[in-house]
Structure 1
Amino acid sequence: MSDYDFDLFVIGAGSGGVRASRVAAAHGAKVAVAEEYRVGGTCVIRGCVPKKLLIYGAHFAEDLKDARRFGWNVPDCGFEWTTLRDNVLADVDRLEGLYKNTLDSHKVELIADRATIVGPHKVKLGSGREVSAKYILIATGAWPLIPEVEGAEHGVTSNEVFHLEECPKRIVIVGGGYIANEFAGIFHQFGSHVTIVNRSATLLRGYDEQIRDRLLQISTMKGINFRFHAEMEKIEKNEDGTLCVRFKNGDPVACDLLVFATGRKPNVEGLGLENVGVELNEKGAIKVDDYSRTNVESIYAVGDVTDRLQLTPVAIREGHAFADTVFGDNPRTVDYHCVPSAVFSHPPLAGVGLTEAQAKNKLGTVKVYTSDFRPMKNVLAGRDERALYKMVVDATTNRVVGLHMIGPDAPEILQAAAVAVKAGLTKQEFDDTVALHPSMAEELVLLK
Structure 2
Amino acid sequence: QLQRNHIDILPGTAAFLDPHTLSVTRSDGQINQVRASAIILATGSRPRRPSEIPFDDLIICDSDSFLRTTMNPTSIIVIGGGVIGTEYASMLAAFGINVTLIDRRTQMLRFLDLEIAQALEAQMQQNGVTMRLGQEYLDISVDHTARPTVHFQHGETVTADMLLYTMGRVGNIEALNLGAIGLTTDQQGQLSVNAHYQTDLPHIYATGDVIGFP
Q: TM-score range by the shorter chain?
A: 0.7 to 0.9
> Percent identity, aligned pairs only?
26
- Counterpart Cα distance in 1 of 2:164 and 2:51: 14
The verdict on how the C-alpha distance between 1:238 and 1:185 changes in structure 2, with shifts beyond 3 A counting, is same
**Quick one: higher RCO (CA 8 Å, sep 6+), 1 or 2?**
2
- Counterpart Cα distance in 1 of 2:53 and 2:211: 30
RMSD across aligned C-alpha pairs, in angstroms? 2.5
1:143 corresponds in structure 2 to 46
Contact kept in structure 2, 1:150 and 1:233, CA below 8 Å: no
Matched, 1:112 2:11: yes
Deviations 1:278-299 (A, max 9, x none): 2435764323334333233542
Contact kept in structure 2, 1:152 and 1:234, CA below 8 Å: no
2:208 corresponds in structure 1 to 303
SS at match of 2:175: coil
Contact kept in structure 2, 1:200 and 1:228, CA below 8 Å: yes
Paired residues, what number?
208
- The one-letter code matched in structure 2 to 1:105 is R
- Counterpart Cα distance in 1 of 2:188 and 2:85: 21
CA offset at residue 222 of structure 1? Answer: 2.4
CA offset at residue 140 of structure 1? Answer: 0.8
Deviations 1:360-399 (A, max 9, x none): xxxxxxxxxxxxxxxxxxxxxxxxxxxxxxxxxxxxxxxx
Deviations 1:185-215 (A, max 9, x none): 1111112110001112211112111121122
Which consecutive residues of structure 2, in runs of 5 or more, have no partner in the other structure? none
1:289 corresponds in structure 2 to 194
Structure label with greater radius of gyration: 1
- The one-letter code matched in structure 1 to 2:157 is P
TM-score norm. by structure 2 comes to 0.83
- Counterpart Cα distance in 2 of 1:166 and 1:257: 8
- The one-letter code matched in structure 1 to 2:4 is S
- Counterpart Cα distance in 2 of 1:164 and 1:153: 10
TM-score norm. by structure 1 comes to 0.42
Matched, 1:272 2:177: yes
Deviations 1:68-121 (A, max 9, x none): xxxxxxxxxxxxxxxxxxxxxxxxxxxxxxxxxx22222323233221222212
- Counterpart Cα distance in 2 of 1:248 and 1:124: 51
2:33 corresponds in structure 1 to 131
Matched, 1:184 2:184: no
CA offset at residue 136 of structure 1? Answer: 2.6
Listed as ranges, the matches of 1:79-118 within 5 Å are 102-118=1-17
Which consecutive residues of structure 1, in runs of 5 or more, have no partner in the other structure? 1-101, 310-448
Structure 1 runs, 4 residues or longer, greater than 6 Å off: none
Deviations 1:257-307 (A, max 9, x none): 211121223332332111110243576432333433323354222222125
The verdict on how the C-alpha distance between 1:104 and 1:174 changes in structure 2, with shifts beyond 3 A counting, is same
From 78, 88, 98, the equivalent of 1:173 is 78
Greater share of strand: 2
CA offset at residue 238 of structure 1? Answer: 4.2
- The one-letter code matched in structure 2 to 1:165 is T
Greater share of helix: 1
The verdict on how the C-alpha distance between 1:250 and 1:147 changes in structure 2, with shifts beyond 3 A counting, is farther
